Amino acid sequence: MFAKQISVFIENRHGRLGEVLGVLKANKVNILSLSLADTTEYGLLRLIVDNPDLCKEKLSESGFSTMLTNVLVIKIDHTSGSLQSLLETLSGTEVNIEYMYGLSIDGDSATVVVKASCPNTALEIFNKNGIKTLSQEEILKLK
């Protein structure tokens, strides 16, 4: 099960992030999770939102370079060693984790966003090992 992530490439200059967020606000797109990384020249904003298609459309119309990517959103125990156990399920395979970031913590569980080099293979491995992945609809219920 995959979720859609929006990646937005923004110039690393004063006010540019605010412009992105202004577009989302004006179009009532709610951010569920984000990751922001920067270099001296540009930033890469990764978003999980409640309406990824509308988000991409409106940001593109506003002149932002965007990309939709399938990612895995995984529910794991919120205990020491759980993330390591998750990664061990991929050891010995051709799947690499390209990046990950936290989405939420709810009681005894945590949810992380994972971008894998071979997403379909990663999904198969996770499913085979009983690791819960969330659909876009299930992510919306985390609010």
The tens digit of pLDDT for each residue in 4-63 reads: 999 999 998 889 999 999 999 999 999 989 999 988 888 999 999 999 999 999 999 999
In a domain? residue 143 = no
The tens digit of pLDDT for each residue in 95-125 reads: 999 999 988 767 778 888 999 999 999 999 9
In a domain? residue 125 = yes
CB neighbourhood size of 100 (10 A): 18
Rounded CA separation 112/102 (Å): 4
Same domain, 63 and 83: no
Domain housing 104: 71-136
Q: Give the pTM.
A: 0.84
Rounded CA separation 103/73 (Å): 8
Rounded CA separation 95/117 (Å): 6
Looking at 70, 93, 117, which one is the last position of a domain? 70
Q: How confident is the model at residue 90 (pLDDT cuts 50, 70, 90)?
A: very high
Q: What is residue 90's DSSP assignment?
A: T
